[in-house]
Amino acid sequence: MTTLDIAVPVPTRRPADRETYLNIAWTVKSWALTTDHKRIGILYLVTTIFTLSLGGVFALVLRTEHLSPGPTIIDAYTYNRMFTMHGIVMVWLFMIPSIPTAFGNFLLPIMIGAKDVAFPRLNLLSYYIYLVGSLWVVIALWAGGCDTGWTFYSPYSDHSPSAVVPTVFGIFILGWSTIITGVNFIVTTHTMRAKGVGWFRMPLFVWTMYGVSIIQTLATPVLAISLLIVGVDHWFDWGLFDPARGGDPVLYQHLFWFYSHPAVYIMILPAMGVIIEVVCTFSHKNPASYKAIAYSTLGIAFVGFATWGHHMFVAGISTFDAASFGVLSMLVAIFSAIKVFTWVLTMRRGSVVVTTPMLYFFAFLFLFVFGGMTGVAVATQSLDVHWHDTYFIVAHFHFIMIGGTLTAWLAALHYWFPKITGRMYPERLGYVGATLVFSGFFMTFFPQFLLGNAGMPRRYYDYDPKFQPLMVISTVGSWILGAAMIWTLAYLLVALFKGARAPANPWDSRSYEWLTPSPPPKHNFFREPVFTRDPYDYTVPAEEIRA
């Protein structure tokens, strides 16, 4: 197979005294109080790896519980709190911040030739708010956790015996961090672009960061206020969503999904940005249509706000509402379809080389298209009636969230590893990791589509024994996925200290971040950069391109 004939870059030893953002200072204070977007990106990266591990451990316990019907290792109340905390940790502590705050922070300013983000101190504040919010959620866990599901549906959340209030308050705090980062990125993109970086000359990753920031800034306040009301309802019996006190539980669902459907795009848009960068670099090719990707990003960001009702087809909305949300959902799916075709067509007449990030691109392509297509299927109203709240939905969104976002996150981690750390990761171990991640994932979630077809509702502690074979396959798959993540983390940690030194541009890319040394100096470029060619110009050799 052609997978191995890659241009392995010759590692070059750099003079030890060259100043980088990493060796400029070594004290704890220089990290804790840094306003350097690159260091803040690293702080985020490390923190989100911890939250991913926490959510992952929950997932493994949940899957192991399902080895047999009835009690296996935990009781029902623990199970319910654990799937809730799994959702909360994965959505708000990992998925939403993962790519934008770690890779977005690190790369967005470099990609537009800026020294830093527009508001470096706000950026640091945003990190600390995120940290406090995350710790708050962990404390809520300590206080017993929350058993309402990550959706906090009222009136159950009004009366749940678990620690609902601390949990929603933690998420409320996290929202501030999201909003501040969003505003910061929007302003940075508007005002800090270097000479030569017009709107349609930005790397496409910046476009997705911009789109995602718009959603974050507009949608998060709605979630914040809804969750605040849930907290007040729970604590003071306010009853805005509780029918026993004249409230309306369906109103809560509208408010919640008004945020949480766009939040799906907060999670997937950055992944799409990573994927286009990876496919262009390793295909040595300009994107098949730059404008199609840029506009479809904005399309998703705005049309995504008008599709929330497809989460409520059986919640008692009118047939007219359901039909409207149905057709809008088909429209928003089209924007994703445009992106998929553009990625694939980008490889046409390119010069493709298979590296670990590229393997992740193929995993992403397969899983995202598969998951996206089942998304179109569940947006078809009469079919959704059967699938709603079953394992089919669970499988569908894990295909998008894990198959999509997590594989893209892993692609980003490998693709930018040389730029961030100045070291190369071991390519062969990377192939093994990517293959394991893909197989483990597929084995975990494919059976869940069939379980959903058969009528297995989600959030079930106990299940009909006839589902056991598929359940066991799914559980074993989750163990493989878990092992693959540990494997990946392990070789990356070793590479961090032992990997070969990375040259400035190990992938022979034309994107702007590769025009500066790896790791970059404190102010990203040694002098103010002027970009004369677009970031996807593969018609001239890399040596002829200067910042």
Partner 1 sequence: MNSLLLKLLDLPPQASTYAFDVDLLHYFVISTTMLGATFVFVLALWFLVRNRRRYPGELTARVVTPVPVEFLIIGGILSVFLIFWVVGASEYSHMQHPPEDAMPVYVTAKQWMWKFAYADGRSDIDVLTVPVHRPVKLVMNSRDVIHSFYVPAFRMKQDVVPGRYYTAWFEAQETGEFPIECAEYCGVSHSRMLAKVHVLSEPDYAKWLENPPTGDLAARGRDVAAKRGCLSCHTLDGQPHIGPSWAGLYDSDVKLSDGTIVKADVAYLTRSMMDPQAQIVDSYKPVMPTYRGVIDEPEVAALVELIVSLKDQPIAPSVVLPRTQPLGSAQPQEPR
Q: Is 540 helix (H, G, I), strand (E, B) or coil?
A: coil
Please select the residue that binds partner 1; options are 338, 481, 492, 504, rule is CB under 8 A: 338
**What are the CA-CA distances from residue 233 to residues 144, 162, 237, 304 (Å)?**
19, 14, 5, 29
Shortest distance, position 428 Cβ to partner 1, whole Å:
18
Taking the least distance from each CB to partner 1, the nearer of 19 and 462 is: 462
- State yes or no: residue 427 binds partner 1 (CB under 8 A): no
Shortest distance, position 313 Cβ to partner 1, whole Å:
7
Shortest distance, position 99 Cβ to partner 1, whole Å:
22
**What are the CA-CA distances from residue 302 to residues 186, 218, 298, 449 (Å)?**
15, 10, 6, 30
* Contacting partner 1 within 517-546 (CB under 8 A): 537-542
- State yes or no: residue 27 binds partner 1 (CB under 8 A): no
Query: What is the token pair recorded at 112?
Result: 């537009």
Taking the least distance from each CB to partner 1, the nearer of 108 and 204 is: 204
- State yes or no: residue 77 binds partner 1 (CB under 8 A): yes
Please select the residue that binds partner 1; options are 388, 396, 398, 419, rule is CB under 8 A: 388
**What are the CA-CA distances from residue 306 to residues 315, 327, 332, 519, 526 (Å)?**
17, 10, 9, 42, 45
How many angstroms separate the CA atoms of 186 and 196, rounded? 19
- Contact criterion met (CB below 8 Å) for 300 and 336: yes
Identify which range of 19-27, 132-140, 387-395, 438-446 contacts partner 1 by CB under 8 A.
387-395
State the number of binding residues for partner 1 (CB under 8 A): 103
- State yes or no: residue 12 binds partner 1 (CB under 8 A): no
* Contacting partner 1 within 479-508 (CB under 8 A): 508
How many angstroms separate the CA atoms of 416 and 514, rounded? 9
How many angstroms separate the CA atoms of 13 and 9, rounded? 12
How many angstroms separate the CA atoms of 247 and 81, rounded? 25
* Contacting partner 1 within 341-380 (CB under 8 A): 341-345, 347-354, 362, 365-366, 369-370, 373-374, 376-377, 379-380
- State yes or no: residue 11 binds partner 1 (CB under 8 A): no
- State yes or no: residue 333 binds partner 1 (CB under 8 A): yes
Shortest distance, position 349 Cβ to partner 1, whole Å:
5
- State yes or no: residue 289 binds partner 1 (CB under 8 A): yes
How many angstroms separate the CA atoms of 40 and 117, rounded? 11
Burial, 439: exposed, middle or buried (Cβ in 10 Å; 0-12, 13-18, 19+)?
A: middle
- State yes or no: residue 198 binds partner 1 (CB under 8 A): no
**What are the CA-CA distances from residue 269 to residues 100, 218, 503 (Å)?**
10, 15, 29
Please select the residue that binds partner 1; options are 340, 432, 436, 473, rule is CB under 8 A: 340
Taking the least distance from each CB to partner 1, the nearer of 117 and 456 is: 456
- State yes or no: residue 178 binds partner 1 (CB under 8 A): no
